[in-house]
Each structure stands twice: as structure tokens, then as C-alpha cells.
């Protein structure tokens, strides 16, 4: 089967660092995405990892270990506006010759940033 696990909720303090973990078990692997979703809004793209290691983009970094089926999203210098849900999504291998790779989403982690 396919399974993606993330913590349901996390809290952190403004200015601090928080790490949101994601573990996955999927039929094939072809990349992992992190999306941010503010309440009542559409998810927006944060990062994409397909090779092992750390991808840094400003205050946000994402790490991937394919052998462990594990990723994390690291948020530095937290701001109040970072309060949102963070969705981990894994792309499996192509299910047909057209090259389509289905994206499977975790349930998301609700992050609350406090002053």
C-alpha cells in the first residue's frame, strides 16, 4: 500500500526553528514535494527533492533520504505568517507509458507560531 505520515500538529515560537518530518512508503518513488496551505486557501509549492540531501531556499530547507523513506522541512527564523498546514506529497513511478506520476499527499501538519 501507500502511506505518508506526518505529525498532526506542531507549535513553535516566533524567531525559532522548527522541523516537520515526513515518512513515506509508496509503490515507487519519483520525487517528494512540500506544499504550504494557509487556512481556507489553496496549497502553494515550497520545495521539491528527488535526490538525497538538503535543498535550501531562503528560510526554508527540505531534506530527503530515499533509503530511509524520510524527509523533513526545516523552517528558520519563524514568522507569524508561517502559521499554516504543511503538506508532504510523494510522486510514485509512472503508472502508464505516458509518464504520469501520481502525487500522493499526507494529511498535513498544522503549525502554529506564537509570539
Task: Decide: is 25 part of the binding site for another protein (CB under 8 A).
Answer: no
Contact range with another protein by CB under 8 A, out of 52-60, 63-71, 76-84, 88-96: 88-96
Place of cell 500522493: 104
The answer to whether 41 contacts another protein (rule: CB under 8 A) is yes
CB 30 within 8 A of CB 101: yes
Asked if 33 touches another protein (CB under 8 A), the answer is yes
Q: Which residues contact 18 (CB under 8 A, 6 or more apart)?
A: 10, 12, 74, 75, 78, 111
Q: Restricting to residues 55-84, name those near another protein by CB under 8 A.
A: none
Altogether, the residues listed in the chain come to a count of 115
| Shorter beta-carbon distance to another protein: residue 96 or 115 | 96
- 8 vs 13, which CB is nearer to another protein? 8
Question: Cell for 96?
Answer: 502508464
Amino acid at each position: 500500500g501507500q502511506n505518508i505520515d506526518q505529525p498532526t500538529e506542531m507549535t513553535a515560537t516566533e524567531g525559532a526553528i522548527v522541523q516537520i518530518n515526513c515518512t513515506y512508503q509508496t509503490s515507487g518513488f519519483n520525487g517528494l514535494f512540500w506544499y504550504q496551505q494557509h487556512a481556507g486557501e489553496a496549497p502553494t509549492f515550497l520545495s521539491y527533492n528527488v535526490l538525497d540531501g538538503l535543498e535550501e531556499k531562503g528560510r526554508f530547507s527540505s531534506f530527503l533520504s530515499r533509503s530511509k523513506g524520510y524527509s523533513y522541512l526545516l523552517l528558520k527564523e519563524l514568522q507569524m505568517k508561517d502559521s499554516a498546514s504543511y503538506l508532504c506529497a510523494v510522486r510514485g513511478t509512472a503508472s502508464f507509458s505516458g509518464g504520469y506520476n501520481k502525487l500522493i499527499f499526507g494529511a498535513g501538519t498544522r503549525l502554529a507560531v506564537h509570539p
